[in-house]
Structures are given as structure tokens and as C-alpha cells.
Amino acid sequence: MDNNLKAAYRKHLEKAAKALEKNNMQAFVADTSEEACEIVRSLLKDGEQISCGGSVTLSETGVMDIMKSGKYDFLDRSKATTPEETGEIYRKVFFCDTYLSSSNAITENGELYNVDGNCNRVAAITFGPRRVIIIAGRNKVVRDINAAIDYVKRVSAPANTVRLGLDTPCASTGECAGINTGNMCSGCKNDRRICCGYVVTGFQRDKDRIKVILVNEELGY
């Protein structure tokens, strides 16, 4: 990528990082996925219990490989063989040391915006694990909450429903069925709908429980 463009993107990330710090979330700006992985390694302690939400970003950056390295006690839901086991892991996650995830969007005002179907991910980001590490590419950083709502309805949810092979309206049209209603929660009535809980993470009382690594690359969706 052109260095001038990369420098301009970095300014946006730095602005969002400052705003996140004002909201009591520790923020880092990384130029590359490798740099983001170094930060993740520095934040994790050997042997601690970790888990994660479903995330393309964790795989693309290499953070998933760190999680699976054997250095940590990884509560891995992909190892569950029944819905009951999956549910048990989701509940155990509340007691883990560190939960890793991306965020659907991050505003330049320092807010995280996440939309979830099962809501295990938004629940763990909000409460439970001692620490939360969020890794997000520059494409997730948007101006404000309205832009975040729009981004999820136009990009995140349609791409995720295609990835998961779900027969939702957004998977076939590329945008949410509720896109033009002006209502955050408007959408389809599909049984497999992935938009059920809408969570904005603003100012945190538990300072630095949430750590956010903003990466100057296009990652996930």
C-alpha cells in the first residue's frame, strides 16, 4: 500500500486509540499483524486460561495460532462435539483469565459496537473474563455509532452469513433486510438471524480490563 495512505489511516487509528483510552480501555496501534501478535504475546501469561469469540481477524492476524500454541489453557469451543458441550464452554468462559475477540466496529469516539446471534461473545466482552483483548483492522474503525450500525448491516452481517452458509436475506442481497428503516434492531425474522444482541461498549469502570489493538491493515469484516 502507498505509504501516504497508510500514514493517513494511522492518524484515524491514533484518534480512535486516544478516545478508547479516555473511555478507560487500554489501546495500542500496530502497523502490521506481526506487531499485533507481539502485543498479544506480551499481554498473555504462560499457562493462563484463555478463550475467544468467533473471528476471522484472529485467524488472519495469526493470533489464533498463538492461542493454539500450547502455552495457554485454551477453552476451545471448536473442540466441542455436542451443543451441550458448546454451552458448557460458553459458561466456563466467564471465569477465564483472558478473552480474545475482534469487534464488529470501533468508533473514533472510542466505543466498541458488537452485534451477536448467540450473544456469548457480547456477554464475555461485557462481563466475566478478567481481561478482554480486542484486535481490529483499520476497516472496522468508523466515525460514530450510526456509521457502526450501518457498517454491520452492510458489511459484517452479510459477509458473516455467507461465511457461515446461512440462508438469511443479507446473504443473498448483500445488506440487511432492515437497512432503510433507521432502526438499529430492524432486520429479518429468519431463525438463523445472527443479529440478536446489539451492544455498545462505552466508558469502563474497570480500567484497562478491555485492551484494544488497532491494526493498520484490512482484517476481517
Residue 32: CB atoms within 10 Å: 12
Number of Cβ within a 10 Å radius of residue 64: 19
Contact between 49 and ligand SF4 per CB under 6 A: no
Total residues binding ligand SF4 (CB under 6 A): 15
- Residue 154: CB minimum distance to ligand SF4, A: 9
What are the backbone angles phi and psi of residue 14, rounded to the nearest 5°? -65, -35
Give the binding range for ligand SF4 (CB under 6 A) out of 96-104, 133-141, 162-170, 200-208: 162-170
Q: Which of 22, 103, 98, 88 is nearest to 57 (CA)?
A: 103
> Of 64, 188, 210, 219, which one interacts with ligand SF4 (CB under 6 A)?
188
Closest by CA position to 214, among listed 5, 21, 1, 4: 21
Does position 193 bind ligand SF4 by CB under 6 A? yes
Minimum distance from residue 162 beta carbon to ligand SF4 (Å): 10
Q: Is 194 in the site for ligand SF4 (CB under 6 A)?
A: yes
Compute φ and ψ for 24, nearest 5 degrees. 70, 25
Measured CA to CA, the distance from residue 107 to residue 168 in angstroms comes to 27
To ligand SF4, the closest distance from the beta carbon of 195 in angstroms equals 3
Binding of ligand SF4 at residue 177 (CB under 6 A)?
Answer: yes
Q: Which of the residues 99 through 158 are near ligand SF4 (CB under 6 A)?
A: 153, 157
Buried b (16+ CB within 10 A) or exposed e, 126-151: eebbebbbbbbbbbbbbeebeebbbb
State which residue, 193 or 211, has the beta carbon closest to ligand SF4.
Answer: 193
Query: 123 vs 195, which CB is nearer to ligand SF4?
Result: 195
Interface with ligand SF4, residue 58, by CB under 6 A:
no
In this complex, which beta carbon is closest to ligand SF4, that of residue 189 or of residue 205?
A: 189
Helices (H) and strands (E) in the chain, counts: 9, 10
Tell me if 87 contacts ligand SF4 by CB under 6 A. no
Positive or negative torsion for Cα 150, 155, 161, 164: negative
CB of 214 to ligand SF4, least distance (A): 25
Interface residues toward ligand SF4, by CB under 6 A: 153, 157, 161, 168-170, 176-178, 187-188, 190, 193-195
